[in-house]
Amino acid sequence: MLFSAVQLRTVFPMLFDFDSAIAVRPLGDGVYDTAIRNGWDIMGNANGGYLLALVAEAMKAESGRRDPITITAHYLSPGLVGDATTTVKVVKQGRRFATVQAALQRDGKDVMRVIGTFGDVDTDALHPRVSLTQPEMPAYDNCPRRDSGDGAPAIMDKVPVRLHPDDVGFAIGKPSGRGIMRGWVQFADERPHDTVSLLLASDALPPPIFNIDGETGWVPTVELTVHVFARPSPGPLLCSFSSHIVQAGMLEEDGTMWDSRGVCVATSRQIALQPRV
């Protein structure tokens, strides 16, 4: 009897790269081993969405809840690959929600401080009153794959995003002039998305400012907040990010994430610094 890689990994989830990369181990007293794994970085610094997912796993474990509902991270120093611990404190364990704080530290130095409210998101994902509309997007197979060749970030091997053909101009010096970046986000090993991988997705695309006037480089996130509304159905996520305000060296970035049913499963917003070359 033969099994596909996806079938096998459904039974043995740690076979998926992302699950190995966000695995956490309790050390007691709310402290977790949250080593920062290799391959989820951009120029040596772990991706902010990956770090948020890693810390959220420890927060989930400590709170005993299934899903992040709203989670905010402040980024204090780069997350280099290697040993790291997260100290988690459940501030309030309520009936419906748990409020949780966490600090990710590496070599005794703060990498992130995080606060989140955890609980159960709606399983049925019904959206009786949603006035957002799904972004226009060509089918997955019709979007160019962006991979880690040509100086693209290492994380692109793990999550080879497929950008909207109208939004790829920045990569060849022809930015669209609009602060928009749309793409399909799917793991290379086709791990199904869940409410934790939405945190990764919230920071997985190139920043939309790359398309405003062609500025590129490292865009350090100051703060990232993600709101989770539903568990995603299987398949690639449609993600759309926009920057509306760029001033005084800072920018904001707004995101929406849609599953294969067309449900808006999460939104995100971040404050970042303008690109540093």
CA-closest candidate to residue 177, choices 201, 209, 148, 224: 209
Q: Which helix (H) or strand (E) holds 213?
A: helix 210-213
Under the criterion CB under 8 A, does residue 223 sit at the interface with a second copy?
yes
Under the criterion CB under 8 A, does residue 229 sit at the interface with a second copy?
yes
Using CB under 8 A as the criterion, what x/- string covers residues 59-78 for binding a second copy? ----------xx-x-x-x--
Residue 132 beta carbon to a second copy: minimum distance, rounded to whole angstroms: 5
Q: Which is nearer to a second copy, 101 or 260 (CB)?
A: 101
Contact region with a second copy (CB under 8 A), list: 13-21, 31-39, 89-97, 146-154: 89-97
Under the criterion CB under 8 A, does residue 179 sit at the interface with a second copy?
yes
Rg (CA), the chain: 18
Distance between CA atoms of residues 103 and 66, nearest Å: 20
- Cβ burial, residue 101 (10 Å; 0-12/13-18/19+): middle
Query: Given CA atoms 208, 213, 214, 217 in this order, what sign does their dihedral have?
Result: negative
Under the criterion CB under 8 A, does residue 92 sit at the interface with a second copy?
yes
Under the criterion CB under 8 A, does residue 212 sit at the interface with a second copy?
yes
3-state SS of 84-100? CEEEEEEEEECCCCEEE
Residue 184 beta carbon to a second copy: minimum distance, rounded to whole angstroms: 22
Contact region with a second copy (CB under 8 A), list: 23-31, 40-48, 59-67, 226-234: 226-234
Q: Which residue has the tokens 């040509």?
A: 150
CB 276 within 8 A of CB 266: no
Please, how many CA atoms are within 13 Å of residue 195, restricted to the half-sphere of its CB?
A: 23
Residue numbers 112-171 binding a second copy by CB under 8 A:
113, 115-117, 121-122, 126-132
* Interface residues toward a second copy, by CB under 8 A: 69-70, 72, 74, 76, 91-92, 94, 97, 99, 101, 103, 110, 113, 115-117, 121-122, 126-132, 179, 212, 222-223, 225, 227, 229-230, 242-248, 250, 252, 264, 267, 269, 271
